[in-house]
Amino acid sequence: MSITGNFGKYLVNVQQIDADIVNRICDHLNVSGDATPDAIANALVTDYKIDYDTVYSALARHYAFGEMNIPVDSIQASQIKQIKKLHKTFDEELLRQLLENRIFPLRYLPKKGDILQILAANPLHPLIQSISKDTRYKHIDVYWSKRNAIESLTCKIANCHESFLDTINEAPQVISQAVSTIDDVDEMAVDEEINRSILVDIFDSVLIEAVRQDASDIHIIPSGRMAVELYLRVDGRLQLWHRQEGTPAEALAAVVKDRCVGIDRFERDSAQDGYAQRIVDDHLIRYRVSILPIVSAEYERRFESIVIRVIDDRKVITDFHKLGFQTQAEDEFVKSINTSKGIVIVTGPTGSGKSTTLMAALNNIITPSLNVLTCEDPVEYVIKGARQLKIGHKMTFDQAMRSILRHDPDVVMVGEIRDKITADIAVKLANTGHLTLSTLHTNDAPSAITRLYKMGIEPFLLAYSINIIIAQRLVRKLCEHCKEPISADKYPAALQLGLTKEELDSGSIFQAVGCDKCNDGFRGRINIAEALYFYPEIRAEIIRNSTEIDEERIRNLAQARGMLSMRDSGIARIREGLTSVAEVLYATTEE
């Protein structure tokens, strides 16, 4: 059957939506006699996962609704006051339902015919009719607006970071009967759970709130038979964001899988990786999703742990000076990357900012005259001016590394030196006139030399191929609004760290307190680092060690040249009033 109706033809011809999909929807709805544009739009979004704004913007144009998207940053305090005053004229329950469904009363114009202007993500939503029926506003102008624009506006007016979470907490609890045995999960029951908008709202909400709270990761963890906990990693620490009672973990996991790309919803026994993307506050945010099957005390259940990395391009630091390295470390790092050859290595545990440092270094040296290649698995950020290799089953990491040598590079960034093959190629690149940047997982700078030596790289090659090794950690920054001088009960730990009693008594050493503008007294993070620059005496010492690397001797030589150890770097941050004694002790316990 051919597509009938102007709206169906518009979707295919203008919006470029697949004709077969629209045709199937029209056929199905014609049988029930409900082939209205609104029903077609709902089926496209619900059943075929077509982008919500793409479909409903077409619906708005079909019915000649105007379009209005208001940037939240442009809203003035006086406008917020007027909107709040307008919202108070609505019944509380009706207003809650309107905002839940992305219908936003914007302004009342008594001098222009008593018109109420509203924004709606779906301009045909039946709740809109309730406004003229249940309020004093009889003349309504409806404008279509992007869904995320309405969500941002709602959050701005409510003056909160978790308006979605408030809605979720007020909503009825989801009742589930979705679990049977390990080999026979009731998929129909899980589908029924998914169709309840509450679970979809929870997932969409946590994606949005993670961005707004500047979280690096989202963790979704089963908690018993009928509960799921969602955590956000903010400033390096996991914080409980929401606990959803009355819902099996399998149902929320199915929602995540359905709304991500590259993940099989029905696979529950193997690890899976996928991705998603959303527009949040007018910015495209990407999410990398990792799913792992986990053991449960309830043997018949098939639980999975879900971790979602938030990839926000706005966080990429392109100005090297904004990394916050201390003076000597920054000078030596800049000297090491502004040369035509050698290896620059950044070490540290996962989440210590290694990739951020390398990205800033690359942005500092990229020019049109250089062929810059990167080999990362996975690629997180797009680097303007670099050619980033795509790793997959047709080109493995090892194959990519070997191919780089034949691709006439000037600068190469390798995501991680993970084995002897990678290390050999990095050394070969450095010794043939190429600058190579990479990372290692070691606790400090001297131990990176030992790690490479034990991989099988000869000492003389290490000595003359490496320019610098930076070991770094991230510590939380004290909140400027609430930090206070350290209390007497914390003096012993501070004195043990190397601070003097005079410094503690002076009131220049601070501790965390906590206020409404921070997280437990901290806001943001800053690095502490030790920079092992390869001065001639360092190179000579490495060559002298033909059987075993003397890390302590190398450290002493570097400190004689002014290198700060990780702990000394942290103490300097304490003296600058940027972090606390507890943070530095936590980050440098191995010392």
How far, in Å, CA of 469 to CA of 438, rounded?
10
Confidence class of residue 538 from pLDDT cuts 50, 70 and 90?
very high
The answer to whether the CB of 570 falls within 8 A of the CB of 587 is yes
Task: State pLDDT tens for residues 43-71.
Answer: 888 777 788 888 888 888 888 888 998 88
Cα distances from 44 to residues 7, 47, 52, 385, 446, in angstroms, run 13, 6, 8, 38, 58
Q: What is the 3-state secondary structure (H, E, C) of 24-37?
A: HHHHHHHHHCCCCH
Percent of all residues in the chain with a pLDDT value above 70, rounded to a whole number: 91
Confidence class of residue 185 from pLDDT cuts 50, 70 and 90?
low
Task: State pLDDT tens for residues 335-345.
Answer: 999 998 999 99
Confidence class of residue 32 from pLDDT cuts 50, 70 and 90?
low
* C-alpha 301, offset from chain centre: 30
How far, in Å, CA of 529 to CA of 552, rounded?
17
Instruction: Tell the burial category of 432 from Cβ atoms under 10 Å away from its Cβ (0-12, 13-18, 19+).
Output: exposed
pLDDT of residue 580: 93
The answer to whether the CB of 341 falls within 8 A of the CB of 433 is yes
Whether the per-residue pLDDT at 401 is higher than 70: the answer is yes
Neighbours of 87 (CB within 10 A): 16
Q: Of 21-35, 441-455, 510-524, which gets the smallest average pLDDT? A: 21-35
pLDDT of residue 181: 39
pLDDT of residue 204: 87
Of 585, 307, 339, residue with least CA distance to 473: 585
Q: Looking up tokens 């219908």, which residue turns up?
A: 103
Of 419, 437, 284, 234, residue with least CA distance to 355: 437
pLDDT of residue 165: 53
The answer to whether the CB of 462 falls within 8 A of the CB of 343 is no
Q: Give the residue-averaged pLDDT of 273-300.
A: 87
pLDDT of residue 15: 65
Instruction: Tell the burial category of 260 from Cβ atoms under 10 Å away from its Cβ (0-12, 13-18, 19+).
Output: buried
Q: Of 14-23, 258-267, 291-300, 507-516, which gets the smallest average pLDDT? A: 14-23
Task: State pLDDT tens for residues 186-233.
Answer: 555 555 555 445 788 888 889 999 998 889 999 999 988 788 999 999
Structure tokens at 109: 């114009």
How far, in Å, CA of 474 to CA of 587, rounded?
8
Confidence class of residue 174 from pLDDT cuts 50, 70 and 90?
very low
Q: Of 21-25, 298-302, 542-546, which gets the smallest average pLDDT? A: 298-302
Percent of all residues in the chain with a pLDDT value above 90, rounded to a whole number: 33
Whether the per-residue pLDDT at 273 is higher than 70: the answer is yes
Task: State pLDDT tens for residues 307-329.
Answer: 999 998 888 887 778 888 888 99
pLDDT of residue 553: 92
- Mean pLDDT score of the chain: 84
Q: What is the 3-state secondary structure (H, E, C) of 399-457?
A: HHHHHHCCCCCCEEEECCCCCHHHHHHHHHHHHCCCEEEEEECCCCHHHHHHHHHHHCC
Instruction: Output the CA angle 250-256-258, nearest 5 degrees.
Output: 100
Confidence class of residue 411 from pLDDT cuts 50, 70 and 90?
very high
- CA end-to-end span of the chain: 74
pLDDT of residue 290: 95
Confidence class of residue 535 from pLDDT cuts 50, 70 and 90?
very high
pLDDT of residue 182: 38
How far, in Å, CA of 266 to CA of 262, rounded?
12
3-class DSSP state of 323: helix
Look at 68 and 111; give whichever has higher pLDDT: 68
Q: Give the residue-averaged pLDDT of 493-508.
A: 89
The secondary structure of 336-379 as a DSSP string is HHSSSSEEEEEE-STTSSHHHHHHHHHHHH--TTS-EEEE-SS-
How far, in Å, CA of 252 to CA of 486, rounded?
44
Phi, psi values for residue 112, rounded to 5° = -120, 45
Confidence class of residue 163 from pLDDT cuts 50, 70 and 90?
very low
Cα distances from 314 to residues 132, 212, 310, in angstroms, run 42, 12, 11
Confidence class of residue 5 from pLDDT cuts 50, 70 and 90?
low
Q: Of 7-21, 453-467, 550-564, which gets the smallest average pLDDT? A: 7-21
Question: Are β-strands 342-347 and 227-234 bridged in parallel, bridged antiparallel, or unpaired?
Answer: unpaired
Task: State pLDDT tens for residues 542-561.
Answer: 998 777 888 899 999 999 99
Confidence class of residue 306 from pLDDT cuts 50, 70 and 90?
very high
pLDDT of residue 215: 92
Name every residue whose Cβ is closer than 8 Å to that of residue 224 and which is 6 or more positions away in sequence: none
Q: Give the residue-averaged pLDDT of 167-188.
A: 45
pLDDT of residue 144: 93
The structure's pTM equals 0.65
Confidence class of residue 158 from pLDDT cuts 50, 70 and 90?
low
Q: Looking up tokens 């002897």, which residue turns up?
A: 420
**Per-residue DSSP letter, 490:** G
Cα distances from 58 to residues 4, 11, 160, 277, in angstroms, run 16, 7, 32, 21
pLDDT of residue 23: 81
How far, in Å, CA of 403 to CA of 260, rounded?
32
The secondary structure of 137-198 as a DSSP string is --EEEEEE--HHHHHHHHHHHHT-S-HHHHHHHHSPPPP-----BTTB--HHHHHHHHHSHH
pLDDT of residue 189: 56
